[in-house]
């Protein structure tokens, strides 16, 4: 049966599931020098999360060995840590688990939105410092405000359902979305990303990172936001990104926070991860951050593990797995 490397962890029950099918699972994280030297060439498949970077050099070094790497499993959604062109060129199938972490990322996004407009972080810090800043921490409601989505896929749609229930008006830019999907959720679809920024005081990012979307959220577009809600309230402008680092220009965000063009910014992902304390954005009082924990819930990790195990079992049983990213290999 197959020999499978799991480099960034996996739910114990999912590992047991693979082992019951007769597969050998090796739980070990490999540093980049080991990956480049071809340590994965001894495996038939590798399962990674975001910590392991499978570059073209790594993938080339992983093919042609005793195990001859056949499948890369991304335990999660984004595949920007995998060189898809190199995988396809070497005949290596890439699969991910797009639906397993949806609810967790939806809830984190809503959490960041609420924490921003109600000053939850500042309130906690002030209490810890012995201050009672009740009169200063006056927030605004999400109800009556326009929420703009950059990308309107599975996660964004989940956020939209919650936001709509809270009384928000939904707007989105997604050139790949069928119009009826947005319409069915009461979301106005725009043909221009700039129009979403012009219309909305709250922006949430839900697209993939690519050359096309790198720094899609920049100083020019942030500058288009008006700070006035659909209800006429001067609520300020707010930005949330729980998608991928690099879509948001972090320097532009810091500049907008310092000028007041942004009232708050909340990021779960960063252009360079792990980000470090010398990132000045982290020190701004209107900034809220989390260390890429969108999928870091017990429930999501359990679902991800089981979905990945099923993909691997199907593949090594001669079936075509679902959620194939590079279908040209098939």
Tell me the pLDDT tens digit for each residue of 134-183.
Answer: 999 999 999 999 999 999 999 999 999 999 999 999 999 999 999 999 99
- Place 330 in a pLDDT band, splitting at 50, 70 and 90: confident
Maximum C-alpha span of the chain: 68
In this predicted structure, the answer to whether residue 66 has a pLDDT above a threshold of 90 is no
- Residue 292 annotated in active site: yes
Q: Are residues 177 and 322 in the same domain?
A: no
Q: Are residues 145 and 42 in the same domain?
A: no
Q: Are residues 284 and 169 in the same domain?
A: yes
Q: Is 238 exposed, middle or buried (0-12, 13-18, 19+ CB in 10 A)?
A: buried
Q: What is the DSSP letter of 329?
A: G
Q: Are residues 152 and 90 in the same domain?
A: no
Q: What is the DSSP letter of 42?
A: G
Q: Are residues 244 and 309 in the same domain?
A: no
Tell me the pLDDT tens digit for each residue of 68-123.
Answer: 899 999 999 989 999 999 999 999 999 999 999 999 999 999 999 999 999 999 99
- Long-range own/partner contacts, residues 176-183 (CB < 8 A, 24 or more apart): 177/152, 177/153, 181/152, 181/157, 182/152
Q: Are residues 281 and 146 in the same domain?
A: yes
Which residues make beta-bridge pairs with 324? 95
What per-residue confidence (pLDDT) applies to 158?
Answer: 98
- Residue 234 annotated in active site: no
Q: What is the CA radius of gyration of the chain?
A: 22
DSSP element (H, E) containing 165? helix 154-165
What per-residue confidence (pLDDT) applies to 65?
Answer: 61
Among 238, 244, 250, 307, the one annotated catalytic: 244
Q: Are residues 264 and 317 in the same domain?
A: no
Q: Are residues 106 and 92 in the same domain?
A: no
- Residue 273 annotated in active site: yes
DSSP element (H, E) containing 24? strand 24-27
Q: Are residues 86 and 129 in the same domain?
A: no
Q: Report d(CA 11, CA 177) in Å as an integer.
A: 33
Quick check: 23 and 39 in contact, CB under 8 A?
Answer: no
Q: Is 31 exposed, middle or buried (0-12, 13-18, 19+ CB in 10 A)?
A: exposed
In this predicted structure, the answer to whether residue 67 has a pLDDT above a threshold of 80 is no
Quick check: 202 and 112 in contact, CB under 8 A?
Answer: no
Residue 185 sits in a domain whose CATH number is 3.40.50.720
Among 23, 190, 292, 303, the one annotated catalytic: 292
Tell me the pLDDT tens digit for each residue of 205-263.
Answer: 999 999 999 999 999 999 999 999 999 999 999 999 999 999 999 999 999 999 999 99
Among 57, 273, 284, 310, the one annotated catalytic: 273
Mean pLDDT in residue range 49-64: 93
DSSP element (H, E) containing 102? helix 102-117
Q: Are residues 199 and 267 in the same domain?
A: yes
Q: Are residues 274 and 319 in the same domain?
A: no
Mean pLDDT in residue range 12-20: 97
**Residue 23 neighbours by CB under 8 Å, 6+ apart:** 1, 2, 3, 4, 312, 313, 316
What per-residue confidence (pLDDT) applies to 282?
Answer: 97
pTM above 0.95, yes or no: no
Q: Are residues 144 and 37 in the same domain?
A: no
Mean pLDDT in residue range 37-44: 95
Name the residue among 111, 137, 142 with its Cα closest to residue 124: 137
Full DSSP string of 277-319:
TT-GGGG-TTEEE-SS-TT-SHHHHHHHHHHHHHHHHHHHTTP
Report the domain count for the chain: 2
| Token pair listed for 86 | 């190199």
Q: Report d(CA 75, CA 81) in Å as an integer.
A: 12
Q: Report d(CA 269, CA 274) in Å as an integer.
A: 9
Q: Report d(CA 142, CA 230) in Å as an integer.
A: 11
Tell me the pLDDT tens digit for each residue of 258-292.
Answer: 999 999 999 999 999 999 999 999 999 999 999 99
Backbone angles phi, psi at 172, to 5 degrees: -150, 150
Which residue matches tokens 């993939």? 208
162 lies in which domain range? 102-289
Torsion 5-15-89-243 (CA) sign? negative
In this predicted structure, the answer to whether residue 309 has a pLDDT above a threshold of 80 is yes
Q: Report d(CA 53, CA 32) in Å as an integer.
A: 8
How many Cα neighbours within 13 Å face the side chain of 142? 27
Mean pLDDT in residue range 5-13: 96
């Amino acid at each position: 049966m197959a020999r499978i490397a799991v480099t960034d962890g996996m739910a114990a029950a999912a590992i047991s599931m693979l082992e019951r099918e007769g597969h050998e699972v090796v739980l070990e994280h490999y540093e980049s020098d080991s990956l480049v030297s071809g340590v994965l060439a001894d495996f038939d498949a590798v399962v990674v999360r975001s910590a392991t970077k499978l570059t073209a050099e790594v993938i080339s070094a992983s093919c042609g060995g005793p195990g001859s790497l056949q499948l890369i499993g991304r335990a999660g959604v984004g595949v920007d840590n995998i060189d898809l062109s190199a995988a396809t060129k070497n005949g290596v199938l890439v699969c991910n688990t797009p639906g397993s972490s949806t609810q967790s990322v939806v809830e984190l996004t809503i959490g960041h939105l609420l924490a921003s407009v109600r000053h939850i972080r500042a309130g906690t810090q002030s209490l810890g410092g012995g201050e009672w800043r009740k009169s200063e921490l006056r927030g605004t409601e999400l109800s009556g405000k326009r929420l703009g989505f950059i990308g309107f896929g599975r996660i964004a749609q989940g956020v939209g359902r919650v936001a709509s229930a809270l009384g928000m008006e939904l707007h989105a830019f997604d050139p790949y979305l069928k119009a009826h999907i947005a319409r069915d959720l009461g979301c106005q679809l725009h043909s221009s990303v700039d129009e979403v920024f012009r219309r909305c005081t709250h922006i949430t990012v839900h697209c993939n990172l690519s050359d096309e979307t790198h720094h899609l959220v920049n100083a020019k577009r942030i500058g288009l936001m008006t700070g006035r809600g659909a209800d006429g309230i001067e609520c300020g402008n707010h930005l949330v990104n729980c998608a991928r680092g690099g879509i948001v220009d972090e320097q532009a965000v810091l500049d907008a926070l310092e000028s007041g063009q942004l009232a708050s910014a909340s990021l779960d992902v960063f252009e360079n991860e792990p980000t470090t304390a010398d990132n000045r954005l982290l020190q701004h009082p209107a900034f809220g951050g989390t260390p890429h924990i969108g999928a870091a819930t017990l429930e999501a990790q359990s679902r991800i593990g089981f979905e990945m195990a099923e993909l691997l079992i199907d593949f090594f049983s001669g079936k075509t797995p679902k959620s194939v990213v590079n279908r040209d290999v098939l």
